[in-house]
Structure 1
Amino acid sequence: MITPFFTITQTGEFIYIDVKISHIRFSAPNIEMTVNNELFIFSLPPYYLRLRLPYPCVDDERAHAEFDSKSECVKIKIPKEIKGQFFPDLDLTAKLLARANEPGQVQSQDVSASAKPMIEELDVRNEVSYDQDLEEGETFDWEVKQEVPRNPALSIGRNDDDDGQDESSLLLAPRELKYGFNNQYDGIIGVSVSNGNDINGLGDPEATPQTDRVIERLIKENIQFDPEIYAADYVSEKYPSEDDDKGFTELLAWKNPLVQKFLKWYKSQQQLSEAERAAVMPVEFTTKEQEQMMNLPRKTYLIDDEYKPTLLLTMICLLFAYEFDARETEGEHNIESAWTIGKIAPQFAFLDAKLVANDSQNKLRAAVITCIRRSLTFPYHRSFALSKKVWDDVYYILRGGKRLVLKALLDLKELFRFHDIYYVYDKIWMEDLCAYLVSDNVSEGAIRNLAHDLKKEVANVSELDITFEKSGASATGDGDDIMGDDATPLENEDEMVVLSLKDIQDMVESSYQSFSENNNNSS
């Protein structure tokens, strides 16, 4: 059976459902429709639609359906049980599609190698208003939790000769090597790497435990960061010239359309009394976005409370990478957009959702620093001010609520879904993340609290906090480009030096001032 495309609207008394039935000969006698409290079923072979509405409806003489041949839609009108009752989330079509584990249905869902408990879900109505949703939103402790260290060799496999090995560590091996949403995937990235996946930064993604991914990411970020490119971009940004081809001034001044929607709505709300203000910004989804949501996985997600902050951190890292590309291309994605986003997001490039950075004891701060480090290493434009501006974009999108975040993630998802090689990241992250966001697992209050927490952390990050470990020679630019001709090289060029953005900027300023003075004296 085919799930048809549909849209739902409402008035105080009725629910209106438009069901698209293209490419078939309409036959009224073959239509079957059932309204049973919250459950609505529509059947016209080969189309079949089953919806679970937020509240009950009734099937009486006021119910009506007719076929519109011009739009090829069956237009259905069903009365609400309680007149004037508002039905929330009718625009989130994926959320309305009846769950596979509803009463009377057999749950047919893939189970990962790590068996999860069989839990029966209660059929409970969700009667929480937006105001309650905001007031009762989850708050998270972003402090890094310490774990008992294990011998990596014990987590990967067992040596047949070692009979004394701890059995409990062996049970962790399959989970330790998984990745993606809720660590439930494996065997996918390795195939794409063999086909030329240059987003991947891991040497052996299928055999690298989670902790080792963090270490490998940090080492390679230190190696791949180029102080000379950052120094050149710093000069281009601060001292622009007529032949400058990077245009940092224009990128920093660019107005993000999603952010502008929120700011316009927020300004209009400030002109109203507190009693008249809306709790959540209204967002309309396009037909294309509605179709995307209908194609999302229909799963019930059993997520540990400890893992929920990890999903939120993944979401903000992906939003940062997406908004960086949007600002860099001024809203016009190009053929490099998927690569740029994938390289910036550590969850894509290194399958790393742990996010440790510079011994930070705060996971949210670590996510901010990690994204900034990667945005100064891979994209064409490398600017600390630009990265901070992107974090401002992310904050405003979070303040716009779940629907504005979902709009951005659905667009990001499309960049990967149709890519010949990078589609794997849609499979292991984007499909589940978007479906999880549509569900009731993430509240508007949790998104708003995340926005406020993020703003505080971003405000406390400066150029001194963004550091890279470089060898003595690379830290001084071999005594030429960054430090200038008068620089004193380190005695041991192989010695590792911790180099902050502030250090590089100070070197550049000194060299630039000397260069300017020499030019003035010669003229």
Structure 2
Amino acid sequence: MITPFFTVSQDDEYVYIDVKVSHVRFSSASVEMVVDNDTFIFSMAPYYLRLRFPHACVDDERASASFDSPSECVKIKVPKEQKGQFFPDLDLSTKLLARRTALSEADLHEQGAKVAETQPGGSRPLIQELDVENSVPDTQAKAVLEEGEKFSWEISQEQTQEQPELTGNKYGFNNQYDNIVGVSLSAGNDINELGDPESTPDVDRILERLIKENIKFDPEFYAADYIMEKYPSPDDDKMIRELIEWKNPTTRKFLKWYKAQQEKPENEREQIMAVEFSKDEQEKMMNLPRKSYLIDESYKPQLLILLVNLLFSYHFDLRETEGDHNIESAWTVGKITPQICFLDSKISIPNPNNADNVLKSAVVTGVRRALSYPLHRNYNMVLKVWEDVYYNLRGGKRLVLKSLLDLKELFRFHDVYYVYDKIWLEDLCAWLISDGLSEATIRYLAHDLRKEYTSLQKADITFEKVDGSGEDDEMTALDLNDIEVMAEELYHAYAAS
């Protein structure tokens, strides 16, 4: 059976379902429809559609269906059981298509926790919730914003346990993938930087990343872009100031909404930004996995860090291309995102002597990579990107999902890079839709992130480089302030000559 494309809308009394039935001869006798409480079923060979609504509907004399020939759509009208009741997220097709499960969410988490206890080192559960109903709908906006998780971003200080020798190590969303990235190397995967992505343990991924970032960073490249921004010339091959001043559409959209809310009386202000999805975006969501996820609580911060790093890379590419992705966009996003190029979801090494903030580590990592790989490597431009990420998060789940769906397309149809859509992006988008993440948690994340990037100092961004001034090749720490001072001295010496 084929799941047809559909759209759902509503008013106070009805839910309206438009089901597209292309390339078939319509016959009313072949159509079957069932309304059972919160479940709606449509069947017309070869199409079959089952939707789960957040609230109940009824099948009475008010229900109707008709075929619109020009649009090839069956237009269905189903009455709500309770007139005036609002049905949230009717444009999230993956959420409506989810199946019901006999186990409650609490039961599933309990089972997952019991299984996790039996795994060595507390690894992820072996049981995962597949094709189930998402039974925690967004209701009143204020209630949604009051329910959320605040995370402690301190790096775990547990003693690092010696890892057993393994033939492979899991990676990707919820550590559930292997034998995918390694296979892509023979096809020319130049985003990957791990020497052996299938066998490198997670801690070694971090060490390899840090070493290669130090090697890749070019002080002269950074100094040149710094001078071009501070002392622009018509002969410059990069207009960095223009990129810094460029207005991000997502940021503009949020600020326009926020300004409108501030002008309203406080009791009339919307708590969550209203975001509508286009038909194209709804079609993309229909292709997402239809499942919910058993995510261990200790793993959730890693997913939030993944979200932050992906949004940073995405908005960096948008700013660098001034809103128009190009053929290099997937490479740029992949290279800046440590979870993609190094499969590094932890970012920082657990250490009993290390009480640093893992969110700060994610910010620093994003800055280091954005100053080492792309065509434009400017610190002030990077700070503008972090500001775009903050406003994207402040716009809420739906605005974040819009960005992720756009980002996902950079990888989905690529001959080689599609592997990263498979191991990260598909599941992340589906998890976001499935109420795995509340509006309040995203808002807390936005505010925590802003604290980190606004308090960041150039002295926090350091690279270890070989000091060639002596006979021995010793390593020396070089921060952005050091490089900018040298760049200023050379520029003024050249200008005076």
Q: With structure 1 as the length reference, what TM-score do the two structures score? A: 0.88
Aligned-CA RMSD value: 2.2
Which residue type is aligned with residue 351 of structure 1? L
> Deviations for 1:20-64, whole angstroms, at most 9, x for unmatched residues?
111111111111111111111111111111110000000000001
Secondary structure, counterpart of 2:422 in structure 1: helix
> Deviations for 1:58-101, whole angstroms, at most 9, x for unmatched residues?
00000010000011100000010110001111111111113263
Which residue type is aligned with residue 513 of structure 1? H
1:487-498 to 2 correspondence within 5 Å? Answer: 490-492=469-471, 494-498=473-477
Which residue type is aligned with residue 23 of structure 2? H
User: Quick check: 1:251 aligned with 2:243?
Assistant: yes
Q: Find the aligned partners of 2:55 and 2:323 in 1 and give their Cα distance.
A: 39
Q: With structure 2 as the length reference, what TM-score do the two structures score? A: 0.92
Shift of 1:245: 1.4
Gaps of 5+ in 1: 158-173, 474-489
> Deviations for 1:439-478, whole angstroms, at most 9, x for unmatched residues?
11111111111000000000111111000000003xxxxx
1:120-519 to 2 correspondence within 5 Å? Answer: 126=137, 128-152=139-163, 154-156=164-166, 177-356=169-348, 361-473=356-468, 490-492=469-471, 494-517=473-496, 519=497
1:111-122 to 2 correspondence within 5 Å? Answer: 116-117=126-127
What is aligned with 2:54? 54
Which residue type is aligned with residue 479 of structure 2? S
Change in Cα spacing, 1:75 to 1:409, as seen in structure 2 (3 Å) is same
Q: Find the aligned partners of 2:391 and 2:277 in 1 and give their Cα distance.
A: 18
User: Quick check: 1:63 aligned with 2:63?
Assistant: yes
Shift of 1:271: 0.5
Secondary structure, counterpart of 1:7 in structure 2: strand
User: Quick check: 1:7 aligned with 2:7?
Assistant: yes
Which residue type is aligned with residue 335 of structure 2? K
What is aligned with 1:487? none
Contact 2:88 2:138 in 1 (8 A): no
Contact 1:137 1:446 in 2 (8 A): yes
Contact 2:129 2:294 in 1 (8 A): no
Q: Find the aligned partners of 1:300 and 1:76 in 2 and give their Cα distance.
A: 28
> Deviations for 1:203-225, whole angstroms, at most 9, x for unmatched residues?
00001011110000001001111
Q: Find the aligned partners of 1:217 and 1:467 in 2 and give their Cα distance.
A: 14
Contact 2:98 2:134 in 1 (8 A): no
Contact 1:100 1:298 in 2 (8 A): no
Which residue type is aligned with residue 184 of structure 1? Q
Total equivalences in the alignment: 478
Contact 1:464 1:501 in 2 (8 A): yes
Q: Find the aligned partners of 2:52 and 2:332 in 1 and give their Cα distance.
A: 39
Q: Find the aligned partners of 2:136 and 2:362 in 1 and give their Cα distance.
A: 36
Secondary structure, counterpart of 1:382 in structure 2: coil
Contact 2:17 2:77 in 1 (8 A): yes
Shift of 1:492: 3.9
Change in Cα spacing, 1:331 to 1:383, as seen in structure 2 (3 Å) is same
> Deviations for 1:220-267, whole angstroms, at most 9, x for unmatched residues?
001111111111111111111111111001101111111111111111
Gaps of 5+ in 2: 109-114
Q: Find the aligned partners of 1:123 and 1:3 in 2 and give their Cα distance.
A: 19
Which residue type is aligned with residue 226 of structure 1? D
Shift of 1:513: 2.2
Contact 1:472 1:492 in 2 (8 A): no
Shift of 1:151: 3.0
Change in Cα spacing, 1:275 to 1:330, as seen in structure 2 (3 Å) is same
State the identity %: 61
Which residue type is aligned with residue 501 of structure 1? L
What is aligned with 1:82? 82
**Structure possessing the higher radius of gyration over alpha carbons:** 1
What is aligned with 2:111? none
Q: Find the aligned partners of 2:355 and 2:21 in 1 and give their Cα distance.
A: 55
> Deviations for 1:335-360, whole angstroms, at most 9, x for unmatched residues?
10000000000000000001128967
Shift of 1:128: 3.7
What is aligned with 2:42? 42
Secondary structure, counterpart of 1:387 in structure 2: helix
